């Protein structure tokens, strides 16, 4: 009986330690990835949020940016800029790799090994992107948006907890 409890705890801890997020790009093999961060997009009225995930690949890395939409014509399109905490900017070119399903649209942007090295040293401050869609009268909101690395919309001056995600630490752990 005394041996079963420590063995069970060791098994439970090792299961959680091995559980890592993965990302698959349109049916490709899964890559090790960070957790799915929910960044705040203040001007996107539909949800006000964008999901951000970064994976490590053989040739560098991949950024997956996902938003919720009301129709399948809406896409994240065009280049985007990843703003880092040290005021550095990583421009990303649209390679037209995207997918839409279940009221969401996702777009993938690729990083070089040098850009991944920058991401390992500095947290992401924000991601500037473009939403394009149809010209329906009641369609999705389109235009230029910024997804900010914030955990919550509001906080008080007395709250001393960290209000942003530690993206650099998570990318370094990949």
What would the pLDDT profile of 22-37 be if each residue is shown by its tens digit?
887 777 788 999 999 9
For 16, phi and psi rounded to 5 degrees? -70, -35
Q: Which domains does the chain have, with CATH numbers?
A: 19-160 (2.60.40)
SS3 153: coil
* In contact, 72 and 100? CB cutoff 8 Å: yes
* In contact, 110 and 92? CB cutoff 8 Å: yes
Tell me the per-residue pLDDT of 45-82, one tens digit each, with 9 for 90 and over: 889 999 999 999 998 999 999 999 988 888 999 999 99
Cα separation of 126 and 85, whole Å? 9
Region 94-123 average pLDDT: 92
Confidence band of 14 (pLDDT split at 50, 70, 90): very low
For 97, phi and psi rounded to 5 degrees? -110, 105
For 55, phi and psi rounded to 5 degrees? -120, 155
Q: Taking the model in full, what pTM does it have? A: 0.82
């Amino acid at each position: 009986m005394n041996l079963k409890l420590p063995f069970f705890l060791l098994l439970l801890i090792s299961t959680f330690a091995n559980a890592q997020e993965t990302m698959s790009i349109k049916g490709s093999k899964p890559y090790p990835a960070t957790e799915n961060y929910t960044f705040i997009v203040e001007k996107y009225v539909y949800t006000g949020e964008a999901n951000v995930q970064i994976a490590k690949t053989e040739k560098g890395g991949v950024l997956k940016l996902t938003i919720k939409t009301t129709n399948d014509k809406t896409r994240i399109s065009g280049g985007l800029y990843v703003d880092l905490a040290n005021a550095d900017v990583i421009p990303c070119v649209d390679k037209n790799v995207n997918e839409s399903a279940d009221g969401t649209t996702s777009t993938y942007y690729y990083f070089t090994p040098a850009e991944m090295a920058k991401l390992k040293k500095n947290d992401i401050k924000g991601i500037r992107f473009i939403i394009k869609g149809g010209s329906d009268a009641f369609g999705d909101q389109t235009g230029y948006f910024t997804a900010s690395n914030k955990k919550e919309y509001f906080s008080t001056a007395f709250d001393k907890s960290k209000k942003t995600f530690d993206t650099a630490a998570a990318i370094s752990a990949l």
